[in-house]
Chains A and B, each alone.
Chain A
Amino acid sequence: MTDVNLIEHHFSTKNSECIFDVRLNPFRVELRSSRRELLRLVSCGFFTSSMLWTTGCAIRNSAITSIRINGSDTMVNLAQGWAERYHRVEPMVEIQVLGAGSGVGIADLADGKCDLATSSRPMKEKEFHAVVEKTKCKPVGYIVGYDAMAMYVHPGNPVKSLSLEQLAEIYGDRPQLTKWSQLTVPNCKVPPKHDEIIPIARQNSSGTYSYFHDTVIGKKRDYRLGTVDANGSKDVVAIVSHTPSAIGYSGMGYKTDAVDWLSLSVKTGGPAFSPTLENARSGKYPITRPLIIYSRGTANIDSPEGKFLHWIYSNEGQELVTQLGYVPVEQQELIQHAFA
C-alpha cells in the first residue's frame, strides 16, 4: 500500500460532526467471570448480583466492539470474508454481516440499524437525502473494488455474445427479442421447447437490479413484465444452470462450471469482451460497476469502522477481492455523487 499517508490524512481530518453508534455485544463476557457471577448470584441474592451486573458491564465496555454491516447481496461473501480475516487481526472487533440488498442496507444506514452499508450501486438522490435527514450527516461511499456484471447462459446455448442494445431488447418493456431463434447463427436449430428466451432478473430492492436497469435498459424505459425475479446472486446462477433457455445477470464472482459467460459489445457487431479480470480492469468490458461501502460521514481513522475500512485497502484486504473473482483497487477512492 503506497498511499497510506494520504488515506490516513483523509480519514483523520474533516470528521467529527458525526458520532458513531458503536454497539456493544451484550452476550460476550469472559466465560470464567460469568460463571463466577452466576455462583454469587445464586448465593448472595439480588443485591449482590445487581452490584456484579454493573461490574460486568464495566468489563464488557473495555472488551468487544461490534460493527454491523448490511446491504448488497453481491458483496455478502466479500464482506463476510473481510469480517473473518479482520477478526483474526483485531480479535476485539466483531463484525456482523448481512446481505439483504443494497437498498435495504442504505435504508438501515439511515435508520441506524447498521454501521456500514455495502452497496453494488451508487446511492440514489432520494436515499442520499434520507440519510442526511435522519442522521444529520452526509453518507460517504468508499469504492473497495470493482465487479464486472456478467451475463450468464446455459452451456448448451449456441449464442456466445450479445450487444448491450440486444440485451435492452430482451429485458426492456415491450421487448423485440423474445426468441433465441431471432439471435442464433444460421444452421443452428433451437428446439421449440427452449426457443423462448427466459430473462432472469432480481428482486427490485437489489443493487444489481437497479444498476442493470440504469446502464443497460436505460432510464427512459422500464423492465419488461414477466422476468423471473431471483432473490439472490447465487439463485440467478442456479436457475440458469438448470434452464437451457434462460439468460441472467449476476456478479462475475458467482461463475460455476454449470454456466457460461456471454461476451458483450456496446454496439451490435462491435468487438465483444468476456467479463475477465483484465477486461474489467482495462474498462473494455462494458458493464463494470463499483463495489461501495457507505458510512455515515467520513469514517474517523480512530473509530472501529475507520480502522476496518483502512484495513480493507491494505494488501491483505484487497487480496480477498481478487480471490473472490472481483477487481481490486489500487488506492482509496470515494464515489462522487452528482447531486451531493
Chain B
Amino acid sequence: MRLPESDIQPPRSARKRWAMDLGESSIEMLIRLCGWSSILFVLMIFFFVFREAFPLIGNSEFSFKEFFTSINWRPTSEIRETYGVLAMIVGTLSVTGLSMLFAVPLGLGAAVFLSEFCTGHVKETLKIVIELLAAIPSVVWGFIGYMVVGPLVVEWTDAAIGVNLLTSSILLALMSVPVIVSVGEDSLKAVPDSFREASVALGANRWETIYKVLFPAAKNGLLAAVLLGVGRAIGETMAVLMATGHSTRIPHSLVDPIRTLTATIASEMGEVSRGSTHYQVLFLIGVLLFAMTFLVNLIADLVVRGIRKNG
C-alpha cells in the first residue's frame, strides 16, 4: 500500500510535538526543583543547627566569652563544666593553613603540568591516578597517618609523638590535592588557545605565557580550586580525628598534637544526652564551622569581584 507521506505527517508530528512539549516542560520542572531543593536543604540544615544551639542564649551554665577566649574544654567535669573552644579554633585554623601551604603549590603545579605540558597516554594515566587519590576514604587516610606518616615524622623531625599538626597537615594536603588539580586543570583548559598563540607570537616563552597570561586569565577558576581545597581541609573529620592526636592545647611548634572543631563534634556527639548544655555547645561548634566556611566563601567572592572590577 502506498500512502503519500505528506498526508500523514502533520497529525503525527503534531501529536509528537505535544508529547515533546509535555516532556520538555516536566523535565524543566524537575531540573528547577533540583536547583531549588539545594537551597532548601541548606536552609533546613541552617535552621536545624541554629535551633539546637539557640537555647544557649540565656543559659546560665554557659558564657560566650568563655567559649571564644578560654582553652578549657571540660564538658564532663564533675567540678565545673567549662566549654572553651579557643584551642580547637587555633587547631582547625593551623592545620588548614599548613595543609594549604603544602597543597596549593603542589596542586596548581600539577594542574599546569596536566593542562599545558602533558599529552596522550601520560595525561590520561595521571588523571586516572589523581581521581583514584580522591576516592580513598578518609578513614584509610587516617590509618596511613598514624601507621606510616607519623613514625616517619618522628624519625625525621623533632617530634616526640607521631600524631601531630605536621602529620595531619600532610594528610589533609594529600586529600585536597586531587580537588585542586581537577578544578584547576579545568579552569586552565577553559582559557582559549588564542591567548596562548598571541602570547607566543609576542615572543613570550612557555613560563612567561603561563605566569603572565594563563594565570590572570584563569584566576577565578584557580581561586575556586584553592577554596574547594580549603573547604575539604576545614570539613575533614575522620582523618584528623585519627592523626591530630586530639589534644586540647594551643600548639607551640609544628609537631605538637592538636584538636580540631570537627573531630570534637565527631567524638562527643554520640554520647551526649539530647538537650543538655554539652549537646547545645556541640551544635554551637557546628554554627561556628558554618560561619567559618561562610566567611571563606564570602572573602573569595569579594576577591573575585575585585579582580573583575580591576581587570
Contacts and interface: CB of A to CB of B under 8 A. Distances in A.
A239 B271 contact: no
Given A198-B161, A223-B74, A243-B154, A205 B146 contact: no
A194 B160 CA distance: 6
A228 B257 contact: yes
A204 interface: yes
B248 interface: yes
Interface string B74-109: 111111000000010000000000000000000000
Contact of B79 (A220, A227, A228, A230): A220
Interface in B242-273: 242, 245-249, 257, 259, 267-268, 270-271, 273
B286 to A, nearest CB: 18
Contacts of A238: 146-147
A222 B77 contact: yes
A225 B71 contact: yes
B150 interface: yes
Contact of A242 (B78, B79, B158, B162): B162
B249 A225 contact: yes
B66 to A, nearest CB: 14
Grouping DSSP codes into helix (H, G, I), strand (E, B) and loop, the B interface class, with mixed when no group exceeds half, is: loop
Interface in A190-244: 193-194, 196, 198, 203-205, 210, 219-223, 225-231, 235, 238-239, 242-244
B78 A104 contact: no
Which of A130, A221, A227 is the most central at the interface, judged by chain B CB atoms within 10 Å of its CB?
A227
Nearest to A223: B74
Which interface class (under 10, 10 to 19, 20 to 34, 35 or more) fits A?
Answer: 20 to 34
A229 B75 CA distance: 14
Interface in A169-209: 193-194, 196, 198, 203-205
B75 A204 contact: yes
A41 interface: no
B78 A219 contact: yes
A231 to B, nearest CB: 6
Contacts of A245: 160-161
Contact of A104 (B76, B158, B259, B270): B270
Given A225-B248, A226-B249, A239-B146, A103 B160 contact: no
A109 interface: no
B272 to A, nearest CB: 8
Interface string A136-147: 000000000000
Contacts of B78: 219
A47 to B, nearest CB: 31
Given A231-B242, A231-B267, 12 more contacts: A103-B271, A193-B160, A196-B160, A204-B75, A205-B267, A205-B268, A225-B73, A229-B259, A230-B246, A239-B146, A245-B160, A246-B161
Interface of B: 71-79, 87, 146-147, 150-151, 154, 158, 160-163, 241-242, 245-249, 257, 259, 267-268, 270-271, 273
Of all A-B residue pairs in the complex, the 9 with the closest CB atoms, nearest first, are A205-B271, A226-B249, A103-B271, A229-B246, A228-B245, A203-B267, A228-B247, A204-B76, A243-B161
